[in-house]
Structures are given as C-alpha cells and as structure tokens.
C-alpha cells in the first residue's frame, strides 16, 4: 500500500517553544489515525504542517507524494486545494455563503464549480433539505456536516480533522463520527485529533504526543 | 461562481459597504458636477479662441459725441469716409469687415433692436452662431432677415415666417431666413441688410460702427488697429480680442479652482472609503484565512475583494453622475447664470475616477494578502 504521509525528524520551533521536537512516523493509504495528547503538545501544529498551512523548521514531510517542506506559498496553496480536506473544530464556514455555496467554494478554488455535485455531497451528509441555509441558520452539528461535505468534494488524498467533534453535543458528535467511519470504510485516509479516548479507539492506530515528542504509537485495529 | 461570490460578499457586508457607497456617491456627485461645469466652460472658451470672429472695431470718436452738445443721441459715422479709409489701409489680413447701424424699431407694437449690416459678411464675423435656416448670401437682399432666438420666441417666428417692422411712419416686411442662436445679445436682435435699416430710420449713408475680422496674433491685430487709427484719426479704432483674453484668463482661474476642488474631494472620498475598508479588512481576516486554507490563492481572494470594491466604485460613480449632472445644471443657472449642457463623456469619466478612488481606498484590503491561513486553526 502507498504511503500517504511520511515524516521524519519533523521540528517546528516558535521562538523558544519547541512545538514539534523531532517527530517521525508514516501513514498508509486508507488508514485512520487518531492523534492524542495534552493541550499544547503540538497536535494542531502537526496538522498544520501536514496540511500545508505552515512549514516545518526542519525535517522531512512528504504528503501525498509532495514534499511540503520545500513548497513555496503558491505551491502550498495548490497543494491544499488538490490534496487536503480540512475539518476544523470551529467548523469555519463562510458566514455569508449558503451551505451549497460553501461546498462550491472549495470546488472553485480547486478547479471549476459543479452545483449538482455540491448538492449531492450535502445530501450524502444528510443535509439535502438545508442547501440554501446560511451557516447562522444551521445547528453546530449541521455546520460540521457541511464542513465534512466541503472537505470531501475535491476527493482529497488526506482528510485532516482537528478535534472535529470538540464543539458538538453527543447526538451530533455521533452523526459526525458515523460519517468519518463511513469515509474510512470507503478507503479515505484520515488523521484526526481528539481528546476523547472513546473516539480515539475507533481509529486504526493512535499516536500520542507530549511536549512536541511522539511518546507512543498504539496499533488498535486487527486487520 | 465569481459573480455569485461577489454578490454574496456585497450583501454580507452591506452595512459597512453602504457607508463607503454613500461616500462614493457624494464624491461622484460633486466631481461630475464640477467636471461638467469645467468641460462646458472649456467648450465655451475653445469656441471663443478657436474661431476668428470680429476682433477690431471702428467706432465714433470722442469728438463726434459732442458735435451736438446737449443731445443724448448716439453719434454716427459717415459710411463713405470710413470705408474709403479702410480700403486704403486694407490688407490681405482683413478676413471680413461690415458696417453696423442699430435702430430700435417696433414689431406689432413691441420694440425690437434692428441691426443693419452686410449679411454676407456675418458668417465670418460671427462664426459661432448656430443657425436654424440659411445665411443670407447678398448684402443687397432687402427681403430677408435673420432673427435672434429670443426674438423668434417672442414673436413666434421660424424660418420662412414673415416679420413686419415699423419705425415711425415707415415700415418693412421681411422673410425670416434663419433663427440665430448666438448665446449673447444677438439673440434679442433682428439682422437686416444695411440699406433696410438706413431706409427705415432715414439715415442713408450713416453707420454706428464697423466690425472687422483680422487674422494674426494679438500683436499683429494690435498693429493693424494702430495703422487704421492713424488713417481715421477722428474715430476710435480698437482691438476687442483683449477683452476676450481677459475673460479667458478669469475662466482659466475658475477652472483651476474647480480642478483643485475636485482633487480635494477625490482625496476625501478615498479617505472615507479607506476607513471603511480598513474596518472591513479586520472583519474579514478569518474569512480570508479560511479561503486560503481551502486553497484559494492570494490573487484570487484579494481579486475578489477588489472586484467588490470596483463594483462599489462603479455604482457610486453612476448614481453620483446622474445627481451631479442635475447639480451642475442648477449651479450653472444659480451661480453662473449660464445654461450648462450635460456632457455625456462625464459618465465614463466619473465612473472610471470613482473606481480608481475606490481601489485606492481599498488599499487596506491588500493587507489581507498577508493573512496566514494557519490563523484559522488557532484564533480560538
Ligand atoms: N503561531 C505560534 N506562535 C507561537 N507559539 C505557538 C504558535 N502556535 C503554537 N504555538 C505553541 O506551540 C505549542 C503547541 O501548540 P499546538 O500545536 O496548538 O498544541 P495543541 O494543538 O496540541 O494544543 C504550544 O505551546 C503553543 O503555545
Ligand atoms: Mg489544538
């Protein structure tokens, strides 16, 4: 199986803070990885670098065949549009665009828009009747499902989710997790940051960080 | 999608954008009004300088006015003396010359000023006149006349109408060959050939003044006037171009004032847009970070915002221009006492200016280019 993520000796230093302090691991295509660790341990920094939102101070990071450490700003922009689907804790929808337009925005930045495909994606996450709603008219769970549809619309190589259920109640958390499980079973590669051990157990592997160091990798699935 | 995003952006921030739009509309209103005044003044100036109308006048001298001590009647000149002197001095520089005799006759009981002249010379002496009809080709023609616009209105005349003129017990009936739009005193006069006026007033051989059109610059014209004055010591000979140049200078100063006011207003409008856009840029930091995170390039994201501002500038320019043309009409009438025509080139000009001003005011949006997409995952 192809490797989607391969990092080695990854470091990220903010002034005097070593947010990531020499991290190495790799992720196979189709794997679901849970990233866990206390607050401030470097989880978001890791996601940012893997997603091309930030560059490492040193070390190698090859994601979907691309060495993200060597890309310039515009190269990173293309990389994000083509290879990555993001799901954020705060949902982060554009407030003045409707649900379907928020999905189309990702299409627009990727290549061309296809409203029908965007509608289908929203139907798939159970929002077929909320297409023309603005984010403010949607519940948190619904907003996060729009974000999931948006993350999927360009068929990314890697889905990065930073505490995707951190702001949701149990019912909505379950809905979003069910979606992620579905995506996993369809063969998507997912890296998900979570605080909840129960959620962490759904993954194939669990990576634990502490003070920017990788302290433990746990094999969970038995496939 | 670009247009759709644009519409959503405009709607999403309409509260703030309306402030900027109002500034742009107000700016465009004043700018287009000033530009319209300015262009129209320029047109009038150009008319006065580009055409060679009458620029030298021969009028009765001081001594003649006291010939009959006690009478207030305007003194006249002997046509034969003036014209023969003119012939002597006359050179190739004289493009046109014609004597004038003014009398106040009546038409249907209402007083009207009659100017008797050589109507075949009039096109060269008054090249700026706009005619509704035909010039009169011969100075011998005693059956036709030209009537000023205001006279035509007063007596309901148009080309082909007949006007009858009475002076004491004599009268004349003339066909209107054309209605004249002169933009001056000529609008309220009737122009006939010299013999018609002389016969009505029984002033055969008498004239009130001679107008000449002489080619050359101000110095050459002055030279010619001096030579003519020597040949006609009993009369006043003076160039009249200098008056126009003084007027031109004054108008030039008014233009300078107008242009500097326009620049000031453009700057103020840009500042107002700038303030609004700076606030908007702060508001949109997260949206921009998000768009970048989703793979939107800087040029695409900032381009979207600039297009939004451009639309705003165009809308402000268009609405302001309509208001501005009305304003310039009003200002023309109230302030300058002149009819200011709407100049349609004002529209593209104002709209282009307002787009530029809006884009200049949108400078803070450029800072959005620097927003790091990673803010999206922090900021909480
Ligand atoms: N942009 C930044 N500037 C300075 N320090 C930062 C920045 N981003 C993260 N950090 C620091 O790096 C460490 C790791 O942060 P982060 O990756 O957000 O942790 P986590 O997501 O695990 O809570 C923290 O100490 C944090 O304060
Ligand atoms: Mg975090």
The answer, yes or no, to whether ipTM is higher than 0.95 is no
Cα(A14) to centroid(ligand 1), Å: 8
Q: How confident is the model at residue B13 (pLDDT cuts 50, 70, 90)?
A: confident
The pLDDT, as a whole number, for residue B62 is: 62
Q: Least CA distance to B5: which residue of chain A?
A: A97
B370 touches chain A (CB under 8 A): no
**Which class for A74: exposed (0-12), middle (13-18), buried (19 or more C-beta within 10 A)?**
exposed
Asked if pLDDT for residue B379 goes beyond 70, the answer is: no
Asked, for residue A186, whether it belongs to a domain, the answer is yes
Asked if residue A162 belongs to a domain, the reply is yes
A146 CA distance to ligand 2 centroid (A)? 21
Which residue has a Cα nearest atom 12 of ligand 1? A19
Tell me if chain A has a CB within 8 Å of the CB of B291. yes
Contacts of A193 (CB under 8 A, 6+ apart): A34, A35, A36, A43, A44, A47, A161, A162, A163
Q: Which of B295, B299, B305 to mutate to test the interface with A (most CBs of A within 10 A)?
A: B295
Helix (H, G, I), strand (E, B) or coil at A17: strand
Q: Does residue A194 form part of some domain?
A: yes
List all residues 6 or more positions away from B50 whose beta carbon is below 8 Å from its beta carbon. Answer: none
pLDDT of residue B52: 54
Q: Is residue A68 part of a domain?
A: no
Residues of B in contact with A73 (CB under 8 A): 298
For B85-188, strand residue ranges (E) read 94-107, 110-117, 130-133, 144-148, 162-167, 170-181
Q: What is the pLDDT of residue B286?
A: 86
- Judging contacts by C-beta atoms under 8 Å, the chain A residues touching residue B373 are 53, 80
Residue A160 lies in a domain: yes
**For the whole model, what pTM was predicted?**
0.69
Lowest mean pLDDT among A56-60, A109-113, B109-113, B125-129: B125-129
Q: How far apart are the CA of B368 and the nearest CA of chain A, in angstroms?
A: 14
**Chain B interface mutation, best of A66, A84, A94, A110, highest count of B Cβ atoms under 10 Å:** A94
Of A91, A121, A118, nearest to A104 by C-alpha is A118
Distance from CA of A106 to the nearest CA of B (A): 6
CATH of the domain at A211: 3.40.50.300
Helix/strand/coil for A208: strand
State yes or no: pLDDT of B21 exceeds 60: yes
Query: What is the CA(A210)–ligand 2 centre distance, in A?
Result: 13
Residue A178 lies in a domain: yes
| Burial class for A41, CB neighbours closer than 10 Å (0-12, 13-18, 19+) | buried
Contact A80 B293 (CB under 8 A): yes
| Residue bearing the CA closest to ligand 1, atom 3 | A14
Name the residue with the closest Cα to ligand 1, atom 7. Answer: A14
Cβ–Cβ of A44/B9 closer than 8 Å?
no
CA-CA distance, A203 to A201, in Å (whole number)? 5
Q: Return per-residue pLDDT of chain A as tens, 223 residues.
A: 689 999 999 999 999 999 999 999 999 999 999 999 999 999 999 999 999 999 999 999 999 999 998 999 899 999 999 999 999 999 999 999 999 999 999 999 999 999 999 999 999 999 999 999 999 999 999 999 999 999 999 999 999 999 999 989 999 999 999 999 999 999 999 999 999 998 988 999 999 999 999 999 999 875 5
**Chain A positions in Cβ-Cβ contact with residue B377 (cut-off 8 Å):** 44, 47-48, 53, 88, 162
Instruction: pLDDT band for B298, please (50, 70, 90 cuts).
Output: confident
The verdict on a CB contact (< 8 Å) between B296 and A150 is no
Burial grade of B271 (CB within 10 A; 0-12, 13-18, 19 or more): middle
Ligand 1 pocket (Cβ < 6 Å) reads: A 14, 17, 19, 37, 39-45
* Ligand that comes closest to the CA of residue A17: 1
Q: Determine, yes or no, domain membership for A24.
A: no
Using one digit for the tens of pLDDT, what is the confidence trace for B136-176? 999 999 999 999 999 999 999 999 999 999 998 899 999 99
Return the pLDDT at B67.
Answer: 46
- Give the residue from A74, A86, A102, A110 with the most B CB atoms within 10 Å of its CB, the best one to mutate: A86
Min distance B287 CA to chain A CA atoms (Å): 6
Give the nearest chain A residue to B4 (CA atoms).
A101
Task: Give me chain B's average pLDDT, please.
Answer: 85
Chain A residue closest in CA terms to B373: A53
**A93-102 in b/e burial notation, b at 16+ Cβ within 10 A?**
bbebbbbbbb
In a domain, A55, yes or no: no
Expressed in angstroms and rounded, the spacing between residue B300 Cα and the centre of ligand 1 is 29
Ligand 1: residue whose CA is nearest its atom 26:
A40
Least CB–CB distance from B8: residue in A53, A89, A97 = A97
Alpha-carbon distance A31 to A36, whole Å?
Answer: 16
φ, ψ for residue B298 (rounded to 5)? -55, -45
Backbone Cα Rg of chain A:
17
Cβ distance A109 to B291 less than 8 Å, yes or no, reads yes
Residue B246: pLDDT band with limits 50, 70, 90: low
pLDDT at B378 > cutoff 70 = no
Spell out which residues of chain B touch residue A105, defining contact as CB-CB under 8 Å: 1, 5, 291, 294, 296
B300 touching chain A per CB within 8 A: yes
Q: Does B277 touch chain A (CB under 8 A)?
A: no
Q: How far is the CA of A44 from the centre of ligand 2 (A)?
A: 4
Q: d(Cα B306, Cα A37) in Å, to the nearest integer?
A: 43
For residues B221 and A210, which has the higher predicted lDDT (pLDDT)?
A210
| Range with lowest mean pLDDT among A18-22, A78-82, B284-288, B293-297 | B284-288
Q: How many domains does chain A have?
A: 1
**Facing residue for A88 by CB, picked from B13, B295, B377:** B377
Q: Residue A168 belongs to what domain range?
A: 29-50+83-219
Spatial separation of the C-alpha atoms in residues B258 and B34, rounded to whole Å: 6
Angle B334-B339-B345 from CA coordinates, rounded to 5°: 115
**Structure confidence by residue, pLDDT tens digits, B310-329:** 999 999 999 999 999 888 88
Residue B72: predicted pLDDT:
43
Distance (Å, rounded) from C-alpha B149 to C-alpha B154? Answer: 9
Do A48 and B290 lie within an 8 Å CB cutoff?
no
Residue B64's pLDDT band (boundaries 50, 70, 90)? very low
* pLDDT tens digits for range B326-346: 888 887 777 666 677 788 888
**Whether the predicted pLDDT of B215 surpasses 80:** no
Task: Report the chain B residue with the minimal C-alpha distance to residue A92.
Answer: B290
Do the chains contact at A96 and B9, CB–CB below 8 Å?
yes
Of A17, A48, A89, A160, best ligand 1 pocket probe by most atoms within 8 Å of the beta carbon: A17
Q: Do B8 and A82 touch (CB under 8 A)?
A: no
pLDDT at B69 > cutoff 70: no
What is the distance in angstroms between the Cα of B250 and the nearest Cα belonging to chain A? 55
B5·A82 Cβ contact <8 A = no
């Amino acid at each position: 199986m192809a490797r989607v993520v391969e990092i080695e000796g990854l470091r990220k230093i903010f002034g005097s803070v070593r947010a990531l302090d020499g991290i190495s691991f790799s992720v196979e295509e189709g794997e679901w990885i849970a990233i866990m660790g206390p607050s401030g341990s470097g989880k978001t920094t890791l996601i940012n670098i893997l997603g091309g939102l930030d560059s490492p101070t040193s070390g190698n990071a090859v994601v979907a065949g691309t060495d993200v450490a060597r890309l310039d700003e515009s190269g990173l922009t293309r990389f994000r549009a083509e290879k990555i689907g993001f799901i954020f804790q705060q949902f982060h929808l554009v407030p003045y665009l409707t649900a379907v337009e928020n999905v189309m925005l990702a299409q627009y930045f990727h290549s061309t828009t296809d409203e029908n495909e965007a509608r289908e994606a929203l139907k798939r996450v159970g929002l077929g009747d909320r297409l023309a709603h603005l984010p403010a008219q949607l519940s948190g769970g619904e907003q996060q499902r729009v974000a999931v549809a948006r993350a999927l619309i360009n068929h990314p190589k890697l889905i990065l989710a930073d505490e995707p259920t951190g702001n949701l109640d149990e019912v909505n958390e379950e809905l979003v997790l069910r979606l992620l499980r579905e995506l996993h079973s369809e063969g998507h590669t997912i890296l998900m940051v979570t605080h909840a051990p129960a959620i962490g157990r759904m993954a194939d592997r669990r990576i634990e960080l502490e003070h920017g160091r990788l302290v433990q990798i746990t094999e969970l699935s038995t496939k | 999608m670009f247009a759709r995003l644009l519409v959503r952006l405009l709607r999403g921030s309409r509260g703030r954008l309306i402030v900027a739009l109002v500034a742009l509309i107000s700016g465009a209103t004043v700018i287009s009004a000033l530009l319209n005044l300015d262009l129209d003044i320029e047109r009038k100036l150009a008319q006065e300088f580009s055409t060679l109308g009458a620029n030298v006048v021969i009028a009765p001298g001081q001594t003649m006015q006291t010939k009959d001590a006690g009478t207030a009647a305007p003194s006249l000149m002997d046509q034969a003396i003036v014209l023969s002197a003119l012939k002597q001095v006359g050179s190739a520089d004289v493009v046109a010359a014609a004597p004038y005799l003014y009398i106040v006759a009546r038409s249907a009981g209402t007083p009207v000023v009659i100017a008797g002249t050589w109507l075949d010379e009039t096109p060269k002496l008054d090249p700026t006149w706009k005619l509704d009809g035909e010039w009169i080709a011969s100075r011998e023609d005693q059956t036709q006349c030209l009537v000023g616009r205001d006279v035509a209105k007063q007596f309901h005349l148009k080309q082909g109408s007949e006007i009858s003129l009475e002076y004491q017990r004599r009268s004349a009936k003339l066909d209107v060959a054309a209605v004249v739009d002169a933009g001056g005193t000529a609008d309220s006069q009737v122009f006939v050939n010299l013999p018609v006026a002389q016969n009505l007033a029984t002033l055969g051989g008498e004239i009130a003044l001679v107008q000449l059109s002489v080619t050359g610059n101000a110095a050459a014209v002055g030279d010619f006037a001096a030579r003519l004055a020597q040949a006609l010591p009993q009369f006043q000979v003076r160039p009249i171009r200098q008056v126009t140049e003084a007027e031109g200078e004054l108008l030039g100063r008014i233009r300078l004032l107008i242009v500097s006011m326009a620049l000031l207003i453009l700057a103020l409008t840009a500042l107002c847009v700038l303030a609004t856009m700076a606030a908007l840029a702060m508001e949109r930091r997260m949206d921009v970070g998000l768009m970048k995170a989703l793979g939107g390039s800087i040029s695409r994201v900032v381009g979207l915002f600039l297009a939004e501002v451009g639309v705003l500038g165009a809308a402000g320019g268009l609405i302001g221009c309509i208001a501005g043309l009305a304003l310039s009409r009003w200002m023309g009438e109230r302030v300058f006492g002149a009819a200011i025509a709407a100049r349609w080139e004002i529209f593209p000009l104002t709209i282009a200016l307002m787009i530029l001003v809006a884009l200049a005011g949108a400078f803070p949006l450029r800072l959005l280019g620097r927003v790091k997409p990673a803010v999206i995952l922090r900021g909480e």
